[in-house]
Amino acid sequence: MKKAIFTFFIIIGISLGYGQEKNKSVSFEVKGNCWMCKNRIEKTAIKINGVKYASWNADTKIFKAIIDERKCTISSVQEKIAEVGHDTGSFTSTEEVYNNLPACCQYRNPESSNMEHGKH
Amino acid sequence: MKSSLPILLLLIANLCHSQIQVIGTVLEFTEDEEKKSIPNANVYWLSSTIGTTTDSLGNFKIPFRRDFKKLIISSVGFRSDTLLVNRPNLGNIILYPIVVLEEVIVEKQVAPLQKSLFKVQNVVSVDSREMLKAACCNLSESFETNPSVDVNISDAVLGAKQIQMLGLNSPYLMFTQENMPSIRGASQIFGLSFVPGSWIEGIQITKGAGSVLNGFESISGHINSELVKPITDKRFFLNLYGNNYERFEFNTRLNHNITDRLGVGLYVHANLRNGYIDNNEDTFLDTPLSDQVNFMNRWQYINPENGWVGYANIQYLADNKEIGQLDFNPETDKLTTNFWGSQIKTNRLDLSSKLGYVFPDLPYQSFGFQTAYSNHEQNSFYGLNQYDIDHNSFYSNLIFNSIIGSTQHKFKTGISLTHDTFNESVNSIAFNRTDNSIGAFFEYTYDNLENLSFVAGLRVDNHNNLGNFFTPRFHLRYSLWDKASFRASFGRGKRGANIFAENQQLFASSRQITIDGTGGNYYGLEPEKAWNYGLSFIQKLYLWDRVMDFSIDFYRTDFLDQVVVDWENPREISFYNLEGNSHSNSLQVDLNYELLQDFHLRATYKYFDVVTDYNSGTLEKPLQPSYRFFVNLNYETLKKNDSQWRFDFTSNWLGEQRLPNTSENPAEFRLPSYSTSYMLINAQITKVFSKKFEVYIGGENINNFTQDMPILSNENPFGTYFDSTILFGPVLGKAYYAGFRYKI
């Protein structure tokens, strides 16, 4: 019996070690400008099944997340973020979605980062 | 005229031949508008390299060239000047310095009193700047500019300021200091004056049922005070205060960072009230004589790399008060009928520590462990009544924070352990009690990140005197439209009443104490239980480009069981368990607006309906104003070189209060059934000289309202009719104070 339990835990341990991680820290660049972008990016990410924590830094443009790799992948997260207008990784958002962003969030326009954010 | 032209031409030609020199002097204006020469300025012909420099007096001489017409004068730090040379002596040439535009910082301070749109609970956050608006010597005085909390004075003799929320006295409120229960049990009446105002960094006032994390006792609200932190606080702070009634306060804080992760602070407060004041000539002091020494040593540790944070505090306090008749001398008159007098001596020791750990890889997951011990010893006599209390308290709480799935679903769970021993002696009759409890709690927070969030908490406790019970608490926020939030909450609280400690003013009267117990665990009485329900709405908006916020809230507390404190028979005070109904309704409407640039208005109207079934019938709660109208005006001038003026004006209009029944007294000691309504005005002016130094002066009760006959039968304090407990207004008239603050 003891042996069986021991083996069971060994197997669990191995499968955890080699398998997909439950709390995988990931970070990648997401294009964006302002706090409105931050809200949009983080909200989109956190609502994805498997994303436990999401935080985007408007200064460094680095997006950090903790994801459950059994439920989602980096590219599935990136795809969803690009779908709401923010280019990331190999995913580019469509012109249609991008053009619907408020002017201050239109990061492809170099002037946009100097705009006044928030009064919309 | 015509004949002179050839002569002039000749003259010019002649001059040209002899290498005409163009001369001039280069000058600048100094700050006091004096002319000053500029040496070494460059002088050269435009589009050429031919040039010279000025000498030490700013003079230059440059050969005239007819092919160049413009001369450029330049010098470092000045705007270059280009001159058309049309005469040999250019005279004085003034250069103007290049104006370096100073950095313009556009600053808008966050209001010192904040109501959040996004927090789930109805919380008013008060920061330390708010506490600079009034004398604010201690926590009890720091609510004077805050309409959410009502401050009243316990009685005409003790003069202790007590606070109320939602029409309920402070025992129904939960006080925490850095989220650990503080003013409770023995320190209920005087505890607020044991926290010096200058130690407080911020206060959070939550209306309605609190969180399950801090225990099961809170019914009407939760007030948390955060103290200054050694690592982030000023290195040195000094404050002295004095008023015209010989009240003096001394505050100092010293902080030192041993490393950038470990800081230590040493905070000292001392106060003295030395004035024998009897302006109403009733032979009783209008304000107590007192002295207090209060000392705290705190340690703070923060390590962002490994995720550990910790605090350790030790606080010691010694407080003495002497009250009563002017001629009372404690040496000779203690416990005699020579003169009526009272002394209250308190010694208190507080030890507390906090340890927190945030998982470095999982920012949403953390552990917290809090533990606190206090010993509170009060020895006192009031006339011939003697009251001693010794309260030992141990508290510990372990909290684990994490998420379910994602940070949209957060939870907090943990266990808490409390142990309290009370040893009281009331006129030599001993009352001893031990309270032990162990409890577990779980609190879930949901946020849909759009417009809805709620906190649902439940705790289960096992308590030796209260039994086994559940405590549910629920808060919800829904944002209806832009910048508007609707909140709702409900929750239950349960507590045992410490009838003597909470109603100490009863000893300053000739009333007989009656406890109509039914065999309960608290002086023979059953514990108190109540539900609290609340609704609130807040709208923020821009009106003429300035922020306005408007809020309205309504709270109701329904007692399932209550220890009724009955003052209706002027010969006695009786305590008994509620039979029937007892409720409190409170309505508050707030309007905050910046009327003019940096001129703020804060206006509040409050309405109370607090009714209890007494043995003698259903009555309004005595000494409870039926309404309160509050206005605070605040103006700050623009900061120039960090100096500024600040003006603050606060006015309170308190409605009629029902007075306890005195109809059985002889005519001279009878009071009307209702008090008059009255107004109180406070004002303060602060002059900030620099970031380091500021001076303030102010006045309290400027309109000088005092209650007539605050003490019944003051001429015969050992007689049957002596009573100082029926106090609805101030005893002390207008008071003026001055002080300064110095900080590095």
For chain A, what are the domain ranges? 21-114
Phi, psi of B332 (to 5 degrees): -105, -25
Q: Is A52–B403 a contact, with Cβ atoms under 8 angstroms apart? A: yes
A22 to chain B: closest CA residue = B405
Q: Is residue B669 part of a domain?
A: yes
More confident: B382 or B28: B382
Are B193 and B259 in a shared domain?
no
Are B547 and B598 in a shared domain?
yes
Domain final position from B207, B224, B241: B224
Which of B403, B407, B410 is the best substitution to test chain A (most A C-beta atoms within 10 A)? B407
| Residue B83, pLDDT score | 81
Q: Which residues in chain A have Cβ-Cβ distances shorter than 8 Å to B403?
A: 52-53
Query: Region B44-59: what's the mean pLDDT?
Result: 83
| Residue B16, pLDDT score | 46
Q: Poorest-confidence range of A8-22, B310-324, B534-548, B719-733?
A: A8-22
| ipTM of the complex, rounded to two decimals | 0.76
Q: Is A52–B361 a contact, with Cβ atoms under 8 angstroms apart? A: no
**Measuring CA to CA, which residue among B229, B153, B121 is closest to residue B491?**
B121
B406 to chain A: closest CA residue = A52
pLDDT in tens, B315-374: 999 999 999 999 999 999 999 999 999 999 999 999 999 999 998 888 889 999 999 999
pLDDT at B408 over 70: yes
Q: Is residue B464 part of a domain?
A: no
pLDDT at B416 over 80: yes
Q: Is B403–A51 a contact, with Cβ atoms under 8 angstroms apart? A: no
Q: Is A47–B449 a contact, with Cβ atoms under 8 angstroms apart? A: yes
pLDDT in tens, B477-492: 999 888 899 999 999 9
AA letter at B511: R
pLDDT at B442 over 90: yes
More confident: B638 or B609: B609
pLDDT in tens, A68-113: 989 888 889 998 998 898 888 888 888 888 888 888 888 887 766 6
Q: Smallest CA–CA separation between B442 and chain A, in Å?
A: 20
Neighbours of B148 (CB within 10 A): 25
Domain final position from B200, B224, B248: B224
Q: Smallest CA–CA separation between B407 and chain A, in Å?
A: 6
More confident: B24 or B415: B415
| Residue A51, pLDDT score | 92
Q: Is residue B447 part of a domain?
A: no
Q: Look over chain B and give the mean of its residue pLDDT values, rounded to a whole number.
A: 89
Structurally, chain B folds into a number of domains equal to: 3
Are B176 and B234 in a shared domain?
no
Query: Region B87-99: what's the mean pLDDT?
Result: 81
SS (H, E, C) B74-136: ECCCECCEEEECCCCEEEEEEECECCCCCCCCCCCCCCCEEECCCCCCCEEEEECCHHHCCCC
Q: Which residues in chain B have Cβ-Cβ distances shorter than 8 Å to A55?
A: 363
CATH number at residue B709: 2.40.170.20
Vertex B381: Cα angle to B375 and B387 (nearest 5): 50
| Residue A11, pLDDT score | 58
Q: Smallest CA–CA separation between A47 and chain B, in Å?
A: 8
| Residue B240, pLDDT score | 92
Are B427 and B519 in a shared domain?
yes
Q: Is residue B466 part of a domain?
A: no
Decide the pairing of beta strands A62-67 and A24-29.
antiparallel
| Residue B606, pLDDT score | 95
Query: Region B88-95: what's the mean pLDDT?
Result: 83
Are B28 and B58 in a shared domain?
yes
| Residue B4, pLDDT score | 58
More confident: B128 or A118: B128
Are B214 and B267 in a shared domain?
no
Q: Is B408–A46 a contact, with Cβ atoms under 8 angstroms apart? A: yes
pLDDT in tens, B713-741: 988 999 999 998 898 988 888 999 999 99
Q: Smallest CA–CA separation between B362 and chain A, in Å?
A: 8
Residue B261 to residue B100: CA distance in whole angstroms: 40
pLDDT at B263 over 50: yes
Q: Is A23–B364 a contact, with Cβ atoms under 8 angstroms apart? A: no
Are B331 and B346 in a shared domain?
yes
Q: Is residue B103 part of a domain?
A: no
CATH class of the domain whose range is A21-114: alpha beta
| Residue A115, pLDDT score | 61
Task: Considering only the beta carbons, identify the residue of A25, A54, A55 that sits closest to B361.
Answer: A25
| Residue A120, pLDDT score | 41
pLDDT at A119 over 60: no
More confident: B251 or A119: B251
Q: Is residue B449 part of a domain?
A: no
Are B192 and B220 in a shared domain?
yes
Which of A52, A57, A64 is the best substitution to test chain B (most B C-beta atoms within 10 A)? A52
Q: Is residue B472 part of a domain?
A: no
AA letter at B122: N
Residue B651 to residue B632: CA distance in whole angstroms: 6
The reported pTM is 0.81
Are B157 and B65 in a shared domain?
no
Q: Is residue B500 part of a domain?
A: yes
Q: Poorest-confidence range of B95-99, B245-249, B267-271?
A: B95-99
Query: Region B592-611: what's the mean pLDDT?
Result: 92
Domain of B329, in residue numbers: 113-117+225-435+478-743
CATH number at residue B89: 2.60.40.10
pLDDT at A35 over 90: no
Q: What is the DSSP string of B260-310?
A: SSEEEEEEEEEEEE-----TT-SSB-SS-EEEEEEEEEEEEEEETTTTEEE
Query: Region B397-424: what's the mean pLDDT?
Result: 94
Q: Smallest CA–CA separation between A79 and chain B, in Å?
A: 19
Domain final position from B205, B224, B243: B224
Q: What is the DSSP string of A7-38?
A: HHHHHHHHHHHHS--SSEEEEEEB---SHHHH
| Residue A112, pLDDT score | 67
Are B41 and B189 in a shared domain?
no
| Residue B136, pLDDT score | 67
